[in-house]
Structure 1
């Protein structure tokens, strides 16, 4: 799968589950719930030491049905291990040039966390595929995307946190390319996760049909 195909799929789904999971069994429950609800993009966070094993396990089990990437990737060593495990994209809470260079070498989309226009443009100029508004999404809400896109409407932005079933239409109205969602898509039973995933994806579909 090429870089442009990966990005197209992320933007088409528009929702990404941010997953921190300790066991393969729980990873399956989350994956099944997300898939049942139409969310096929999962970020597996390297805040847990078994992230590489989970990425490899889910990739082998679901193949192209799921688009699995690595999150909280702070250095190029971790990025390379994640790619070898099967990660199709790399996400970080910060911008790191060495990670950006490595991701570009293997044509893997890199989405670093940025808090200012200066950081975002630096990352984009270096080859980042998308910028992650982190940790400011939770603090400022959807208005921050509109603020960033006013001077740089061509810059693809992923939010991280702050999205709910009730306010997702507000986020979509800002032109955000992808929304990272945590507890709604990782807590509770498979059925709970599927219910939330359906609601979020339907909101995306409804918004696009109306606009």
Structure 2
């Protein structure tokens, strides 16, 4: 099964990228984001794509401009995640054949992102929106909209957010922090997957 969990590897370095990719994929997490404010992010992303692009959806986060989108397309990235809903970034992402997951928090941002062609919406920071805010906002979104809770939402919250209708989750520190070994990440990822599967039954 393809779980709607995006692992956010902020701070990852190229020399650890492959072992961490394997740890995540083997645990059942097959959507991986390397934020562009990590050390040498394009190098990490390209190595990960060459290593596991047939087993995982690999792309970048914190993508803020069209030039970054073009560079990501050249190395074969498959998705672009942003903290904001920049229409130019979304349109450029779609023009390059990649998936677009912009960050939104308000109805205006959500509908602007969808009109620009976004494949899904990253509600960030989700803990500030809260379950009540998400329920109210999602009631007016198109029924097939993919939505992800990112920021301050962890495995203990999965069941409540799933009941509220969220599609999936983006997780950073619950899975990865700079310095974590591949073994530690594998164990954390296994816990995340177990919580997700339980909440999705």
Pair in the same fold by TM > 0.5:
yes
How far off is 1:204 after superposition?
A: 2.5
Aligned length: 198
Aligned mates of 2:3, 2:188 — CA distance in 1? 14
8 Å CA contact 2:11–2:39 kept in 1: the answer is no
Superposed CA deviations along residues 26-80 of structure 1, whole A, max 9, x for unmatched, are 2233223212321111111011351111110111112311210111110111011
Instruction: Note the residue ranges of structure 1 that are not aligned, 5 or more in a row.
Output: 1-8
| Corresponding residue number in structure 1 for 2:128 | 139
Alignment of 1:186-197 (within 5 A): 186-187=176-177, 188-197=180-189
Superposed CA deviations along residues 130-182 of structure 1, whole A, max 9, x for unmatched, are 111123x1323344332221222523211112222222211221221220000
| Corresponding residue number in structure 2 for 1:101 | 91
Comparing 157-166 and 39-48, the one that deviates more: 157-166
TM-score normalised by structure 1 residue count: 0.85
Instruction: Note the residue ranges of structure 2 that are not aligned, 5 or more in a row.
Output: none
RMSD: 1.9
- Which has more helix, going by share of residues? 1
Say if 2:29 is the partner of 1:66: no
How far off is 1:22 after superposition?
A: 4.5
TM-score normalised by structure 2 residue count: 0.89
| Corresponding residue number in structure 1 for 2:196 | 204
8 Å CA contact 1:165–1:196 kept in 2: the answer is no
Seen in structure 2, the aligned counterparts of structure 1 residues 100 and 165 have a Cα distance that, compared at 3 Å, is closer
| Corresponding residue number in structure 1 for 2:67 | 77
8 Å CA contact 1:133–1:159 kept in 2: the answer is yes
Say if 2:21 is the partner of 1:31: yes
Seen in structure 2, the aligned counterparts of structure 1 residues 22 and 204 have a Cα distance that, compared at 3 Å, is closer
Question: Which one of 148, 151, 173 corresponds to residue 140 of structure 2?
Answer: 151
